[in-house]
Amino acid sequence: MTALLLGAAGAQTVDLRILETTDLHTNALGYDYYQDKPTGEFGLEYTATLIKQAREEKRNTLLYDNGDLIQGNPLGDFVARVQPLKAGQMHPLHAAMRVLKYDAGNLGNHEFNYGLPFLQGVIAAAPMPYVSANAYKDDGNGKPGENAFTPYLIERKIVYDTEGRPYVINVGVIGFLPPQIVNWDKSNLDGKIVTTDIVEAARKFVPQMKAQGADIVVAVAHSGISADYQPGQENVAAELTRVPGIDVVLSGHSHQEFPGPVYKSIPGADLTKGTINGKPVVMAGFWGSDLGIVDLKLNYDRKAQKWTVADGTASLRPIWDKTAKKSLITPDPRIAAAVKKAHEGTLAYVRGKVADLTAPITSYWALVQDDPSVQLVSSAQTAYVKAALANTQYKDLPVLSAAAPFKAGGRGGASYYTDIPAGTLAIKNVADLYVYPNTVQAVLVTGAQVQEWLERAAGQFKQIDPSKTEPQALVDDSFPTYNFDVIDGVTYEIDVTQPSRYGSKGELVNDQAHRIRNLMYQGKPIDPGAQFVVATNNYRASGGGSFPGLTGKNIILQAPDETREALVKYFNEQKTVNPTADGNWKLTPIPGATLLYVSSPNAQKNLPAGATLLRTRDDGFAEYLIKF
Ligand code: MN
Ligand code: MG
């Protein structure tokens, strides 16, 4: 289609810059609601400054958001559940985006977490159009009926060539989401939404877009990048570059950066140019960490009367210097102004009481005895996984839970412990219990594998000589506390007079040694051949910490939610939270031995039986002696 406003002579080259934000997860501001303090590491208010700068450099720009916008931090919960938006009321993230004049938005998987009616209300009040091509209404038989959302748009855009002459080009934009949403949000979508493969939908709609006059096609895919492609797959952005007619792929969902070293072995990827198979691709991190930039050079072919993409590159601009740990730019004050009321409401929500807490939660003794800070995480994980598996083939299997002390001194320093007094539990206390943005996952293991999992975790302890009477240090400081998994749902002892079965990298070093004793399920010795589901996190399930039997191959649940959100959900559902540890594991007593344990001076508040303070140290820690 001819798209000239002026029939000028000479070369007609248009520089077009396409900007992407993705996976903002309601982070309008650089504010950590769990820790209740500002940060420069994320937030659209920072990305907004990069958007302003990127626009100042180029005359022709477009701006798209790639979804996972309305869920992910307490602000998202606040406007969806605590003080729900009224009919017609604009979502605060959209109020922020209105300032930035987005051209279109795409739906991510998390857009469905609060149900379809909420999402439809959000889209209806949005300041920009939304596209999503591979979600369909259920035709009544579980088959795709008509499109559930507008699949694509073709927008007339006035652009200026390198000599300042104006043209109109037709920019096609098409959206995609992971087909897995129907599983992840089954309760919200069953009987209502059916999804199809992303690439299949692209092959169906892109030719229609071209036929309807799209000069260029931008695929906005809430989908990551993987080396291979199978129909129905979650991460297919690389395959989209091979669909004829698509000129640019905006990727997301994986919370990674493209171009970036994570993707160095993707076939056809050029990390210098930011292309895959010659097409520009960008994935702009998450929570506003980066602005994605695609720069296209368009030439007008007078003979064929069409625009062609002569060149395309992609790059990222970060908001935060990870090495120097400081902001690279200042925030755009218009964003904070746009979300002021929702932010204030969220602060009141995270600071307010969500449940009664019947006992203090501390982690001072978490490395030597069953501990409330770990117990509570396991209780929340178990509840989450049981609910998630309720309608699956795994519903009758026992659910165990693995969790480790995260805030337990060590390299974090003498104040790096959990210490929540009894009384009130608030959302912001989640930060004390779970510092990492891990997601919930579950694995299928045998009783024998449960034993090996615990043997690996028991490598945290030094070997104790029972014949010595002088104090012996108990904990190996070089062992990260986050690898000291406690498994709830079984009972066991750890005998530290034995050598560790596994070495520091998870390698079997003493194949005759066993520290785990009396491992029982429901009061009986565990059946090595029985199957168990273990609730854990994405790090451990995919092989983090090199635990035996955990290679990513036996994952049966990859939940879309962070473990922190499972904790928030658990708090909200329990009017009263009793975090008292159930004492399901203990160290096997060593009569006559004295163990040396390092913790906070505050650990004196709840000294276990047999423990005494030896001394406080200049580095802020305290040493305790334990006899049992
Ligand atoms: Mn996301
Ligand atoms: Mg326990």
pLDDT band at residue 9 under the 50/70/90 scheme? low
Ordered DSSP codes for 206-225: HHHHHHTT-SEEEEEES---
d(CA 370, ligand 2 centre) in Å: 5
Closest ligand to C-alpha of residue 69 is: 1
Predicted pLDDT of residue 430 = 86
Cα–Cα dist 151/166, whole Å: 29
Closest ligand to C-alpha of residue 584 is: 2
pLDDT at 489 over 90: yes
Closest ligand to C-alpha of residue 110 is: 1
d(CA 379, ligand 2 centre) in Å: 9
319-350 per-position pLDDT tens digit: 999 899 899 999 999 999 999 999 999 999 99
Predicted pLDDT of residue 185 = 82
Predicted pLDDT of residue 301 = 86
Closest ligand to C-alpha of residue 374 is: 2
Rounded to 10°, the helix 44-57/92-100 angle is: 20
d(CA 75, ligand 1 centre) in Å: 15
Predicted pLDDT of residue 10 = 58
Closest ligand to C-alpha of residue 490 is: 2
In which region does residue 148 sit, left (phi positive, over 0), alpha (psi from -120 to 50) or beta (all else)?
Answer: alpha
d(CA 363, ligand 2 centre) in Å: 13
Cα–Cα dist 50/331, whole Å: 9
What are the residues whose beta carbons fall under 8 Å from the beta carbon of 76, sequence distance 6 or more? 25, 26, 70
255-290 per-position pLDDT tens digit: 999 999 999 999 999 999 999 999 999 999 999 999
Rounded to 10°, the helix 372-388/563-573 angle is: 90
Pairing of strands 353-357, 576-577: parallel
d(CA 582, ligand 2 centre) in Å: 5
Q: What is the mean pLDDT of residues 222-234?
A: 96
Among all chains, which residue has been given the structure tokens 């060149």?
311
Q: What is the mean pLDDT of residues 104-133?
A: 97
pLDDT at 558 over 70: yes
Domains of the chain plus CATH, in order, are 13-343 (3.60.21.10), 352-627 (3.90.780.10)
Contact 134, 231 (CB under 8 A): no
d(CA 72, ligand 1 centre) in Å: 8
Predicted pLDDT of residue 2 = 44
Closest ligand to C-alpha of residue 70 is: 1
Q: What is the mean pLDDT of residues 617-627?
A: 94
601-612 per-position pLDDT tens digit: 999 998 999 999
pLDDT at 235 over 60: yes
Q: What is the mean pLDDT of residues 566-570?
A: 92
d(CA 561, ligand 1 centre) in Å: 9
pLDDT at 531 over 90: yes
In which region does residue 411 sit, left (phi positive, over 0), alpha (psi from -120 to 50) or beta (all else)?
Answer: alpha
Contact 50, 447 (CB under 8 A): no
Structure tokens at 419: 């210490």
- What's the Cα-to-Cα distance from 65 to each of 57, 242, 254, 301, 611, rounded to whole Å? 20, 22, 15, 31, 56
Percentage helix, strand, coil for the chain under 3-state DSSP, each rounded to 5? 25, 30, 45
d(CA 283, ligand 1 centre) in Å: 11
Cα–Cα dist 245/251, whole Å: 17
d(CA 21, ligand 1 centre) in Å: 11
Mean predicted lDDT score pLDDT of the chain: 94
Cα–Cα dist 493/495, whole Å: 6
d(CA 488, ligand 2 centre) in Å: 5
d(CA 592, ligand 2 centre) in Å: 27
Predicted pLDDT of residue 1 = 42
Closest ligand to C-alpha of residue 113 is: 1
| Short-list 385, 417, 379, CA closest to 576 | 379
Closest ligand to C-alpha of residue 255 is: 1
d(CA 563, ligand 1 centre) in Å: 14
Cα–Cα dist 175/37, whole Å: 35
Cα–Cα dist 161/60, whole Å: 9
Share of the chain above pLDDT 70, in %: 98
Number of DSSP helices (H) and strands (E) in the chain, helices first: 15, 39
The torsion of the CA quartet 62, 343, 336, 132, rounded to 10 degrees, works out to 0
Closest ligand to C-alpha of residue 67 is: 1
pLDDT at 6 over 60: no
Closest ligand to C-alpha of residue 222 is: 1
What are the residues whose beta carbons fall under 8 Å from the beta carbon of 379, sequence distance 6 or more? 401, 488, 570, 579
148-178 per-position pLDDT tens digit: 999 999 999 999 999 999 999 999 999 999 9
Closest ligand to C-alpha of residue 579 is: 2
Q: What is the mean pLDDT of residues 205-211?
A: 98
d(CA 414, ligand 2 centre) in Å: 24
In which region does residue 254 sit, left (phi positive, over 0), alpha (psi from -120 to 50) or beta (all else)?
Answer: alpha
The torsion of the CA quartet 527, 529, 531, 533, rounded to 10 degrees, works out to 80
Helix (H, G, I), strand (E, B) or coil at 56: helix
Closest ligand to C-alpha of residue 586 is: 2
* 595 phi, psi to nearest 5 deg: -105, 145
Q: Which range (23-37, 85-99, 381-395, 403-417) has the least confidence?
A: 403-417
d(CA 23, ligand 1 centre) in Å: 4
Cα–Cα dist 437/113, whole Å: 18
What are the residues whose beta carbons fall under 8 Å from the beta carbon of 371, sequence distance 6 or more? 362, 363, 365, 405, 486, 581
Predicted pLDDT of residue 560 = 81
d(CA 123, ligand 1 centre) in Å: 18
Among all chains, which residue has been given the structure tokens 């626009």?
55
26-74 per-position pLDDT tens digit: 999 999 898 889 999 999 999 999 999 999 999 999 999 999 999 999 9
Q: Residue 59's CB: how many other CB atoms inside 10 A?
A: 15
d(CA 243, ligand 1 centre) in Å: 24
d(CA 381, ligand 1 centre) in Å: 20
pLDDT at 3 over 50: no
d(CA 583, ligand 2 centre) in Å: 5
d(CA 487, ligand 2 centre) in Å: 7
Closest ligand to C-alpha of residue 252 is: 1
pLDDT at 419 over 60: yes
| Short-list 42, 69, 54, CA closest to 285 | 42
d(CA 497, ligand 2 centre) in Å: 22
Predicted pLDDT of residue 411 = 75
